[in-house]
Amino acid sequence: MVVNYAKSSSAAEEVAEIIRNSGGRALVYRADVAEPAGATALVKAAVSEFGRIDILVNNAGVTRDSLVLRMKDEDWESVLDVNLRGAFNCIRAAAAEMVKSRYGRIINISSVVGLIGNVGQANYCAAKAGLIGLTRAMARELGSRNITVNAVAPGFITTEMTAGLPEKIRERMLDQIPAKRFGTPEEVADVVAFLATEAAGYINGQTIAVDGGMTCC
């Protein structure tokens, strides 16, 4: 497995160590996927190390929250560049290799805000909604080559960010969730892992919300 990072390598090294301790092979690589050359170099490194590429998970993401009337051009552009253009760049590079072997699993990490929107996140919502459209288009383009393309849309997940929210905001979030709790990173990872398997071979072009029922209505 290749674990990519853009700035700090500490989290990537931690993931790689977990993989190695579980008996797998892991390569830590640094690439700015918002740049086509970065995505291409990342895929080339993966093929050089492992011989082929079977699974691509696009989870690079940044936020630059602001109301539209106050949003700076660079904040709009940077979020679209990383969250949407980065996924496009990686898909284009990886799909070229997957087509050769006529096999692939591509999983894009979107968000429930790409489905329902969110105040102060027009850039992030646009990028995540665009990722859902990209998923559907690529599923149609690549499906005949035994390559599936799906999206996972997490809802409110327990992270350092949500743990630090004021209690009133947490309560307001929980009111929107039928399950009345936040999800866990493991629950998102389980869905991603399933979509990467042979068992998910007939699931294509779908967006699976992992949100405790938040978007069910």
CA separation, residue 209 to residues 19, 81, 99, 116, 118 (Å): 26, 23, 28, 11, 16
Type of residue numbered 22: S
Q: Is 126 annotated as a binding residue?
A: yes
CA–CA separation, 45 and 94 (whole Å):
11
Type of residue numbered 211: D
Q: Which of 5, 29, 103, 124 is catalytic?
A: 124
CA separation, residue 151 to residues 93, 187, 195 (Å): 18, 15, 9
Q: Is 216 annotated as a binding residue?
A: no
Q: Which of 166, 151, 157, 150 is nearest to 187 (CA)?
A: 157
Evaluated on CA atoms 168, 174, 180, 181, the torsion sign reads negative
Q: Is 147 annotated as a binding residue?
A: no
Q: Is 127 annotated as a binding residue?
A: yes
Q: Is 128 annotated as a binding residue?
A: yes
Task: Assess whether 124 carries a catalytic annotation.
Answer: yes
* Residues assigned a catalytic role: 124
List the binding residues for NADP(+).
Answer: 59, 124-128, 157
List the binding residues.
Answer: 59, 124-128, 157
